[in-house]
Amino acid sequence: MLANVVRTLRNAAHFGAVTYDAVRTAGLFDAVAPSTLARFALKLAGRPRNPSSIITFHALNSPDKEALVQGGRRFTYRQLDERIDRLASALIGLGVGPGDRVGLMMRNCHEYLECQWATTRASGFTVQIGYRLKPAEVAYILGNAEPRVLVVGPSELEVAREAAALAGFAGRIVPVGPEYEAMIEDADPDAPRPKSPRRGDRDEDHGGVVIYTSGTTGNPKGASRTFKKSLHEPVADFLRQIKIHHDDRHLVVSPLYHSAAPAFVLFILMVGGTIVLLEHGGEEGALAAIAAEKITCSFMVPTVLGRLAATAAAHPGRWDTSSLRWLASGAAPLPTETARRVEAAFGRLLYNFYGATETGLVTLALPGEHTARPGTIGRGLSGNQIRLLGEDGREVAPGEVGELYVRNSMLVAGYHRDRASTEKAMKDGFFSVGDMARVDGDGYYYLADRKTDMVISGGVNIYPLEIEQRLHAHPAVQEAAVIGVPDDEWGESLKAFVVLRPGHAVSADELRAFCKETLANYKSPKFLEFIDVLPRTPTGKVLKRELRTR
């Protein structure tokens, strides 16, 4: 029976060769019992089809396998599936239906993931709200997204209530704790799911997410993505190349309200792996979790990866990290020196990818490629069309810098209730988030910088990322950020903010001379300021607007 299913999948129009290879590489064909398929079909009869169904699939196929671990709490696939079913019924009872939104504002915890999947089973959209935001910032999101329900962590409850008052939020606020658990306990897991009010398959039937941008340049924009557009060819190609496996144990250290961390959770649960959640604990806590839980993989932002490698190097042999098979870096530019330090600490297992909430996965650099081709974000993943456009709207030649536009089947429809920003980002069906890049003759892409961070000095375009990469290569520098500051003669001049590594010292003149060894003189920072830490978002992006106000 399973052989017939495999042949059917291989020949199906929507299940291409790349997807088939990803599933085969994950070992799923060998791990699935033939009887599971029939029971799964019966279980889902009459229910909306969306990615949350995969948890039900694994609950039927391997019910006692660990699905989710957080501290002392461990959930099998059967336990997790039942909690999600109950919570979905509870949310439906609160009026959540196809296309409706549920706000989530909490730290990394199993409740966060339960709410994401339960909302999806109700055909709703989760609105992911950063737990570090202030009341006015949360109020803006509540007013823009208008969720029916807001689920919040205990430490976020006061801010949420103040934000609700500012926004005139009339929905239900559910704090994580006794009220949340009672809602699950009292719900009927077999309650009927709402039917779509229209005939046919709609995007809303698949559920989805609304993820608000970091807001580094102004009010955040809500990128609305349906799950119907999440499991397409670029994802399958990505999973095939990193060789994801159904026995993977994935450590989550990045915030779940960002787009990348929950995407990797989805990838792991798709193949029946195990998620290990870490709310906090720093680098030593992460290394201890890798050793204790036999972690095989993780996604981390470059800043965290660098600190993890430095901590491991400072304590050789203290933690057993031999179980690691792959690490993925994304969400911010990866300094080449950071990649080298990660390779030295853990081996050649680091993948560097480029993508965005709005575009999905776009490029991937394999282990060793980033250090062999400094700064590369890899080659385009299958299913992507990439254009680099100049100011005149025409494609630039290889080696030249242009604004990166992407077209694929994963593009968001646009920004929630922001038509102007949507139209500004779109060009002939291609989407841009404002990143500048170049491509070499072998098809490898390199980020130049954000378009908004480009500095124009004496009429010359300068991309700070190039200078930052050079500063990171100095042995005394831990991290650096470069901005443009007003200059009466040149229009703008470069200023670098530098964080030194513990126990190291270097002068501003020495760093300028170091830059001039490989960069044109005009790319050497005119001003340097040594600071203790760079201001960053929780997802690792440097808040250059804060540096500009210093």
Pick the CATH number of 454-548 from 1.10.1050.10, 3.30.10.20, 3.30.300.30, 3.20.20.10: 3.30.300.30
Given a cut of 90, whether residue 538 has pLDDT beyond it is no
Mean pLDDT of 453-479: 87
Q: What is the mean pLDDT of the chain?
A: 88
Name the class of domain 32-212.
Answer: alpha beta
How would residue 203 be classed by pLDDT, with cut points 50, 70 and 90?
very low
Q: Which CATH architecture has domain 233-451?
A: 3-Layer(aba) Sandwich (3.40)
**pLDDT over 80 (residue 525):** yes
The dihedral of CA 411, 413, 415, 416: what is its sign? negative
Q: What whole-number percentage of the chain has pLDDT above 70?
A: 90
Phi, psi of 210 (to 5 degrees): -120, 110
Asked which of 272-281, 438-447, 471-480 is least confident by mean pLDDT, the reply is 272-281
pLDDT at 193: 67
Residue 515 pLDDT greater than 50, yes or no? yes
For residue 150, pLDDT beyond 50: yes
Burial of 216 from C-beta contacts in 10 A (0-12 / 13-18 / 19+):
middle
Which position has the higher pLDDT, 378 or 302?
Answer: 378
Reported as a pLDDT band with limits 50, 70 and 90, residue 233 is confident
Give residue 221's pLDDT band: very low, low, confident or very high (50, 70, 90): confident
pLDDT at residue 197 greater than cutoff 50:
no
Distance CA 138, CA 303 (A): 26
Question: Which pLDDT belongs to residue 17?
Answer: 60
CA dist 338 and 124 (Å) reads 39
What pLDDT is stored for residue 18 in this prediction? 61
d(CA 413, CA 524): 41
Query: Across residues 250-276, what is the average pLDDT?
Result: 93
What pLDDT, in 10s, does the model give residues 407-444? 998 888 788 888 888 888 999 999 998 899 999 999 99
Residue ranges of the domains in the chain?
32-212, 233-451, 454-548
pLDDT (mean) for 170-176: 96
Instruction: Convert 515-529 to b/e letters by CB count within 10 Å (16 or more is b).
Output: beeeeeeebbbeebe
Angstrom distance (rounded) from CA 194 to CA 172: 20
The reply to whether 32-212 and 233-451 are identical in fold is yes
Residues 275/117, Cβ–Cβ less than 8 Å: no
More confidently predicted of 198 and 142: 142
Spatial separation of the C-alpha atoms in residues 101 and 544, rounded to whole Å? 32
pLDDT at residue number 467? 92
pLDDT at residue 177 tops 90: yes
Token pair listed for 314: 């400072």
Measured distance CA(301)–CA(319) in Å, rounded: 21
User: Which residues are CB-neighbours of 314 under 8 A, at least 6 positions away?
Assistant: none
Q: Which of 191-195, 358-362, 419-423 has the highest mean predicted lDDT (pLDDT)?
A: 358-362
* Token duo for residue 210: 């609304």
Of all residues in the chain, the percent with pLDDT exceeding 90 is 61
Q: What is the pLDDT of residue 325?
A: 98
- Mean of the pLDDT values across residues 503-518? 94
Beta strands in 390-518 (DSSP E): 402-407, 426-427, 430-431, 435-439, 445-450, 455-457, 460-462, 477-487, 491-500
Q: Residue 116 is encoded by which pair of tokens?
A: 């994401």
Mean per-residue pLDDT, 467-489: 91
Tell me what pLDDT residue 232 has: 74
| Statement: residue 217 has pLDDT above 70 | no
Give the mean model confidence (pLDDT) for residues 13-33.
67
Lowest mean pLDDT among 11-25, 317-331, 372-386: 11-25
What's the pLDDT score for residue 9? 40
The arrangement of strands across the sheet holding 172-175 comes to 172-175, 149-152, 101-105, 125-128, 208-212, 222-226
Any idea which residue has 């609160």 for tokens? 94
Confidence of residue 95 (pLDDT cuts 50, 70, 90): very high
pLDDT at residue 410, as a whole number: 86
Q: Per-residue pLDDT for 455 more than 80?
A: yes
CA distance 188 to 357: 34
Location of structure tokens 């690792």 = 540
Q: If you average pLDDT over residues 237-242, what whole number do you get? A: 94
What is the number of residues in the chain?
550
